[in-house]
Amino acid sequence: MERKSLAHILAVILMLIWGLSYLSIKVVVYEVEPTLLAFYRFLIASVILYIIMKVKYPEEKVIKEDRVKMALSGLFGVSLYFFFENYSVAFTSASNVSILISSIPVFTLLSQRIIFKEKLTVFKTIGAALSVAGIVMVVAAKDKVNLFSAGTLGDLMALGAAISWVIYNVVTSKYKGEYKSITITTYQAIWGTVFLSPALLISKPSIPSVVATINILYLAVACSVAGYIIYIFCLKELGATIITTYINLQPIVSLVAAALILEESISFWQVIGSIIIISGVFFVNMDDRFNKEKFEEAI
C-alpha cells in the first residue's frame, strides 16, 4: 500500500479516535478542571512519547533552527488550542463553539494560499465549503444557534481555537530538519505541557476516580500519543487542506457514539448534515485524482 493511501485510511481511524474523545472529556470534566485535564493528559503523553522516542530512535536530535518551531507547535497545537476550546463552552453555546471551530478548513485554505501559494482548486474549495455547511447543519439541528448572543467572549475563544490549530498546521508543515513523526509529537507534547503547567497554580488538583482515570489515560495514550503521531504523518502525506477537512468527520463520530452509548436521539437534519460532511471530504480527496485540469481534458 502506498503511503498516501495509508494516510487516508489512518486519517479516518484518527477521526474515530478523536471523535470518541469528546465522550471521555465529558466524563472527566465533572471531576477535573478543563485546563488541568489538558495538563494531565499531555504530561502522561509526554512521558510515554519521550521513552518510546529515546528507546527506538536514540539518535534523533532537533537542530537549532527548529527548536523555536517545536515550542510554537506545542504552544498553538496543544496549550492554546485546548485552553480556547475547553473554556469557550463556559461562555457560549456548544453549537456556537462547534460552528466556529468548523471554520478550520476555510482558514486553512486561506493560509495555504497566502503563505505557501497553494492553488485553491475547485474540488478543495467545494469540499471545504460542504464540510462547513454540513457541520453547521449537524449542530444547528441539536441546539439553538445564535452567533450574536451575549457570549461574545466565548465565540471569540472558539474562533481562537480554530485559528490556533491553523497556525499549528502552518508551523508543523515546514521544518528544516528531517524528523520521525514521533520526534515532532514528543517535543510538541512536552512544550504543550510546559505551557499548560500554570494550571497547577490556578486550579485545585484532585484525585480523579477510577472511571475518570481510565478516560484520562484514553485521552493521553490513544488521542495524544497515537493520535498526534498519526496526524503528523497524515499532515506530511496529505497536506493541511485535506487533513483538516477530515477533522469535520469528528462530529459524526461523536453523534453516533452519543446515540449508542448515551442513548441520545438523532434527528433527520443531523443525518443529512453528516452526509454533506462526508461529501465534502470526498470532494477534497478527489482533487488529487480528478482535478480541474483533468476534468477539462475529459470534456
Strands (E), 38-154: none
| pLDDT confidence tier of residue 292, bands split at 50, 70 and 90 | very low
pLDDT tens-digit series, residues 258-274: 777 766 666 777 678 77
Residue 182 region by backbone torsions, left for phi larger than 0, else alpha for psi between -120 and 50, else beta:
alpha
pLDDT tens-digit series, residues 53-111: 999 888 888 898 889 999 999 999 999 998 887 777 656 655 556 666 766 777 777 77
Instruction: Read off the C-alpha cell for 58.
Output: 536514540
- Average pLDDT over the chain reads 80
Sort 23 into a burial class: Cβ within 10 Å, 0-12 / 13-18 / 19+: middle
Cα–Cα dist 128/114, whole Å:
17
Query: Which of 82-86, 162-166, 177-181, 221-225 ranks highest by mean pLDDT?
Result: 221-225
User: How many whole angstroms from its chain centre is CA 163?
Assistant: 12
Contact 191, 78 (CB under 8 A): yes
Cα–Cα dist 201/199, whole Å:
5
Sequence length of the chain is 299
Whole-prediction pTM value?
0.75
Query: At residue 26, does pLDDT exceed 70?
Result: yes
Angle in degrees, 0-180, between the axes of helices 152-173 and 81-88, rounded to the nearest 10: 160
Query: At residue 288, does pLDDT exceed 60?
Result: no
Query: At residue 165, does pLDDT exceed 90?
Result: no
Average pLDDT over residues 145-149: 54
pLDDT at site 134: 78
